Structure 1
């Protein structure tokens, strides 16, 4: 194969071009199977240029994670408009999340499937993104509780658990939606909203489910 000829362009633009190719390759082939040769060819540059810009395969993968994590969190935050009702804010946030993951399936595969199944520092990068999203959802749940005029507010631990559960459900549902033909981002958001808000709405109104009395539980076989 002859050497790849590249036209001159600003470094920042060239680097984004390499990251685009890397995200597609990592997302579709996985971190271990992806090669720098393949990424360079897809980006239309030489392999030495990839190494010059991004140092190593590990650094390239880390750069992909950071870029896509920032894009996802920004999409979710931008999708939520302050001042609306708590249910509408949650709905808008879910729509933004599922729309972004549907439009960027390779990026979602990098974040949710590839990075989380490999050792540090990749998992730590994704964990930081997840913590930011969970914190954002926590704020929405707290706002919903205040909107419902709950006094006292929901216990901090309960709010944290609800946020973790909601984010975890969204992550799993995004995987399912991206691999199930005919499921739109709006349908995925509606599914999770129906599942989550029915319970959250009751909780905000003071109607919470309680476990059965321990003495009346049937013993497991």
Structure 2
């Protein structure tokens, strides 16, 4: 009777194990300090097998960035509930974002810190993910603004900067929340809503803050005043 053969693990499953180990190592130790030896050991495979599947440390890191970026963007899209008022859509999207970054702190570290600081190729991968999220948030705010102003032709540039600012604030807050004990995803989302929605709510109602004139003396245009949108 021949020896019983051990069933081989499917390549896709084995590869995900390697990526799991790599994300954990890159996220906690940093790209430069991480070694293929420790990634292989953590994944429970030989180092040659990691090279066979993923070619090089650079290719492995790129694969990690792409996987984590896809997971984050899918989480944000899935968390946003179409048909709700604008503030509820933003709330659900932010909650999904902070929930994902809290559950996957190593993946977030790979995307937001490591990918951006270790070469243009890696930074471009992270930037593509960020652009997708900014575009999604832009369309969410734009649809709400057009509905509020009853203006289907409201230019996208009117809200594009708001989306950039909102995403940037969410990224910084995610870093802070992951480094601060006891901060929940709901608390992070509520913090950003309290920071951002008052301004967005005024925009939806047609009220905008007007900057002061160059001489700072024009009536009705002092810092902190609110004037109707034109």
1:169 equivalent in structure 2: 169
In the TM superposition, what are the counterparts of 1:204-219 in structure 2 within 5 Å? 204-216=204-216
CA distance in 2, matches of 1:88, 1:203: 16
Q: Per-residue deviation at 1:210?
A: 0.6
In the TM superposition, what are the counterparts of 1:16-55 in structure 2 within 5 Å? 16-55=16-55
Unaligned stretches of 5+ in structure 2?
1-5, 218-230
Write the deviation string for residues 171-218 of structure 1: whole angstroms up to 9, x where unpaired. Answer: 00000000011110000000001111110000111110011121226x
TM-score between both structures, scaled by the size of structure 2? 0.89
Secondary structure of the 1:31 match is coil
Distance 1:161 1:194, change over 3 A: same
Query: What CA RMSD, in Å, does the superposition of the two structures yield over aligned residues?
Result: 1.4
Unaligned stretches of 5+ in structure 1?
1-5
* Greater helix fraction, Structure 1 or Structure 2: 1
1:112 equivalent in structure 2: 112
Q: Which has the bigger relative contact order, CA under 8 A and spacing at least 6?
A: 1
Say which one has the larger Rg.
Answer: 2
1:130 equivalent in structure 2: 130
Write the deviation string for residues 105-156 of structure 1: whole angstroms up to 9, x where unpaired. Answer: 0000000010011112100000100000000000111111023134375543
Moved over 6 A (4+): none
Indicate yes or no: 2:85 matched with 1:85.
yes
**How many residues matched?**
212
TM-score between both structures, scaled by the size of structure 1? 0.93
Q: Per-residue deviation at 1:157?
A: 2.3
Secondary structure of the 1:32 match is coil
